[in-house]
Amino acid sequence: MNLVKIRQILFDEMYEKVQWSGEKSGKYYHGKRVAKLALTLKKNILPNDGDSHDDIITVAGWFHDVMNGTDGHALAGAERTKILLSEHCSEYEMQEIYDIIYRHDDRHSDRNSFSVYAKIQQDADHLDHFGAHDIWARFVTLSLNSRTIAEVIEYVKEWQKSVGTRFEEELNFDISKKIHREKAEFFHSFAERFITEGTGKIWNKDIIFD
Which pLDDT score, from 0 to 100, does residue 144 have? Answer: 80
Dihedral sign computed on CA atoms, order 158, 172, 25, 18? negative
Residues 22-40 as b or e (16 or more Cβ within 10 Å = b) = ebebbbbbbbbebbebbbe
Residue 118 lies in a domain: no
Which pLDDT score, from 0 to 100, does residue 180 have? Answer: 94
The CATH number for 100's domain is 1.10.472
Residue 100 lies in a domain: yes
What total of structural domains would you count in the chain?
2
The model's pTM is: 0.88
Instruction: Compute the C-alpha angle 184/36/30, nearest 5°.
Output: 70
Residue 121 lies in a domain: no
Which pLDDT score, from 0 to 100, does residue 23 have? Answer: 64
Residue 103 lies in a domain: yes
CA–CA distance, 110 with 122 (Å, rounded to integer): 14
Is residue 97 domain-shared with residue 163, that is, in the same domain? Answer: no
Residue 126 lies in a domain: no
Residue 18 lies in a domain: yes
Is residue 103 domain-shared with residue 153, that is, in the same domain? Answer: no
CA–CA distance, 63 with 176 (Å, rounded to integer): 21
Residue 114 lies in a domain: no
Taking only the tens of pLDDT, the chain with its 210 residues reads: 899 999 999 999 988 776 655 666 788 999 999 999 999 999 999 999 989 899 999 999 999 999 988 889 999 999 999 999 999 999 999 999 999 999 998 888 888 899 999 999 999 999 998 889 889 888 888 888 888 999 999 999 998 888 876 678 889 999 999 999 999 999 999 999 999 999 999 998 888 887
Residues 109-137 as b or e (16 or more Cβ within 10 Å = b) = eeeeebeebbbbbbbbbbbbebbebbbeb
Which pLDDT score, from 0 to 100, does residue 134 have? Answer: 87
Is residue 103 domain-shared with residue 136, that is, in the same domain? Answer: no
User: Where in the sequence is the domain holding 92, given as residue range(s)?
Assistant: 3-109
Is residue 76 domain-shared with residue 136, that is, in the same domain? Answer: no
CA–CA distance, 132 with 125 (Å, rounded to integer): 14
Which pLDDT score, from 0 to 100, does residue 174 have? Answer: 95
